[in-house]
Structure 1
Amino acid sequence: MKQIPENEVAALVARLRAAGCVYAEEEAGILLEAAAGTDGLDAMVRRRVDGRPLEHIVGWAAFRGLRIGVVPGVFVPRLRTEFLVMQAAGILRGAAGGAAGATGAVVLDLCCGSGAIGTALASEFPGVEVHAADIDPAAVECASGNLSRFGGTAHCGDLFDPLPRELQGRFAVIVANAPYVPTQEIAFMPQEARLFEPDAALNGGADGLDIQRRIAAGAGKWLRPGGHVIVETSPAQAAESVRILARNGFTAASVHSDEVGGTAAVGRLGR
């Protein structure tokens, strides 16, 4: 790409800021890197100003130090979801006495979207067997591309349904960023989410926790003894997320990170 004059870069930043982009300088840099030329840049900027997610425009999202491939129509991984990876990594290291000892452990990224969680864990723990599942074929195709770099596998279907039966009782950790937005609140989400990401990746039912209930009910037979399930939730929903896990045989608690804004309910199978 040819060098863009400083005054044109400043104009680009101003245009993005006027469109409501909070991190206009950072977005301008990403768009400039991604553009093949000035004509390509103009087209990208128009799409961003129209409200399309930046990640869909450039084809990747930053997540846990990786570039995760994303395509239009697939849920964009959020910074707060890195907190789920941190929780899973801590469990894998603690159970195995370190990252090297986690070799052979089996992990599931459920409701995987782009497969960001599974890809991050596969990158961090090369000896771990990573599976991912999602109901959306476009998401599974995207996740397959990301996971294949690290030997992971993505499956298409409803929650646990597409998983090979031989995986029952083997998972050390099931991590799920399942949809948890209450149906009536979707209309108030930012345009780039409610218009350009699939409803199935956002809509968690009347109280936002319908999918979490199904995960908690089905996870037990897929986990090994003492295995863990980790679900993303919100601070307002965390107490009920913990109760859902507890009602399904898990010893559970909620955890939160102010640094990335993430909240999770973590359950260990067994009392």
Structure 2
Amino acid sequence: MSAAREEPDSTASTESTHGTASPASTASTVAALRAAGCVFAEDEARLLLEAAAAGASLDALVRRRVAGEPLELILGWAELAGVRVTVAPGVFVPRQRTRLLVEQAAALADAQSVVVDLCCGTGAVGLAVAAAVPGVELHASDVDPAAVSCARGNLGSRGSVYEGDLFSALPVGLRGRVDLLVVNAPYVPTDAVALMPPEARLHEHLVALDGGTDGLEIQRRVARDAAGWLSGGGHVLVETSERQAPATAALLTAAGLAARVVRSDEADATVVVAGR
């Protein structure tokens, strides 16, 4: 289970240094991307031109994007809350809406906090929290071996990454010590996966997208066991959809936690924050 999981949005940074492409090549690249339906054609063209300036073939890059390959896979990286991570085929690409999850977690953390990024995918969420609050003790886990490999490369010496199904992957020594459990688990209902944009359903592993019949299967399992892993003042933060948020909050409340829903219309993002 990588992260959570509705339609993709633009995740690569648009703040890179401008390349030296000619106006003609820029215009033709923008035109090709726009014709293929890329909403952020100008931003994507700039990033592809910069990649080409670093030695890649612009024609090859544009062909891959026009064919529907995610921009992040073409570039080899994605950015979340100011942190750039390497991405890999099949691994869930961080969505920009997940900034709200990072911001809510960082607001509750301090330098002594033990942070667990459950269903970590690339590890971007945990890394972004650690970047915002230096000194945290960072752990991450995922059931997908490809995601675990990717996250280990991204975290390096800044944290530990474990492979396994939810809490079973974590060292028992973390039980009762987790101050912040951040969870971006799959929440797309099984029947809705086929309706997702091709960028997601064709390029990310199904285990990173499918949240079960009602989209809440993984959240239900997280809520059932989360309290036993939290410290006395610990919190669990779960990204969800606006429609599913009341049900997500109810799951955590039923587990003995006090839950509240945080919504950002600007980011089209919803997070449930729950604590003892």
Aligned to 1:41: 58
- Counterpart position of 2:181: 174
Give, in angstroms, the shift of residue 104 of structure 1: 2.2
RMSD: 1.5
TM-aligned CA distance change 1:206 to 1:17, over 3 Å: same
Deviation per CA, 1:107-145: give whole Å up to 9, x if none: 000101001100101112221001010001111111111
- Aligned partner of 2:72 in structure 1 is 55
Among 172, 180, 188, the alignment partner of 2:195 is 188
Distance in 1, Cα, partners of 2:61 & 2:90:
17
Q: 1:88 to 1:39 in 2, by over 3 A?
A: closer
2: CA distance, partners of 1:140 / 1:254 = 29
Find the partner of 2:244 among 237, 255, 265: 237
CA–CA distance in 2 between the matches of 1:183 and 1:256? 24
Equivalent residue number for residue 198 of structure 1:
205
Alignment of 1:1-271 (within 5 A): 3-35=20-52, 40-92=57-109, 102-148=110-156, 151-269=158-276
Extract unaligned runs of 5+ from structure 1.
Answer: 93-101
Residue 258 of structure 1: how far off its partner (Å): 1.6
Letter matched to residue 61 of structure 1: A
How far did 1:36 drift? 5.3
For 1:72 and 1:79, locate their aligned partners in 2 and report how far apart those are by CA, in whole Å. 19
The list of structure 1 runs, each at least 4 consecutive aligned residues, that deviate by more than 3 angstroms after superposition, is: 36-39
TM-score (norm 2): 0.90
Separation in 1 of the partners of 2:20 and 2:251? 55
Cα distance in 2 for partners of 1:40, 1:123 equals 33
Contact 2:176 2:231 in 1 (8 A): yes
Taking the aligned partners of 1:20 and 1:158, their CA distance within structure 2 comes to 37
Q: Deviations over 1:153-205 (max 9, x none)?
A: 11111001111111110010100000000011111111100110111111001
List alignment gaps of at least 5 residues for structure 2. 1-17
**Amino acid of the residue matched to residue 116 of structure 1?**
A
In structure 1, C-alpha distance between the alignment counterparts of 2:128 and 2:56, rounded to whole Å: 34
In the alignment, is the contact (CA less than 8 A) between 1:179 and 1:211 conserved in 2? Answer: yes
Deviations 1:63-116 (A, max 9, x none): 111211111111000010010011101111xxxxxxxxx222100001010011
State the alpha-carbon separation in 1 of the partners of residues 134 and 262 from structure 2: 26
CA contact 1:122–1:152 (8 Å) conserved in 2:
no
SS, match of residue 221 in structure 1:
helix
Q: How many residues align?
A: 259
Amino acid at match of 2:23: E
CA–CA distance in 2 between the matches of 1:58 and 1:37? 11
Structure of higher RCO (CA pairs closer than 8 Å, 6+ residues apart): 2
Mapped partners of 2:174, 2:81: distance in 1? 27
Summarize deviations over 1:34-83 as a string: whole Å, max 9, x none: 22567622111111111111001111112111211111111000010010
Q: Are residues 61 and 74 of structure 1, via their aligned partners in 2, closer, same or farther at CA, if it must alter by over 3 Å? A: same
The one-letter amino acid of 1:124's match is A
Describe the shift of the 1:38–1:174 C-alpha distance in structure 2 as closer, same or farther (beyond 3 A): closer
Q: Equivalent pairs: percent with the same residue?
A: 55
CA contact (8 A) 2:20 2:53 kept: no
TM-score normalized by the length of structure 1 = 0.92
Mapped partners of 2:182, 2:102: distance in 1: 8
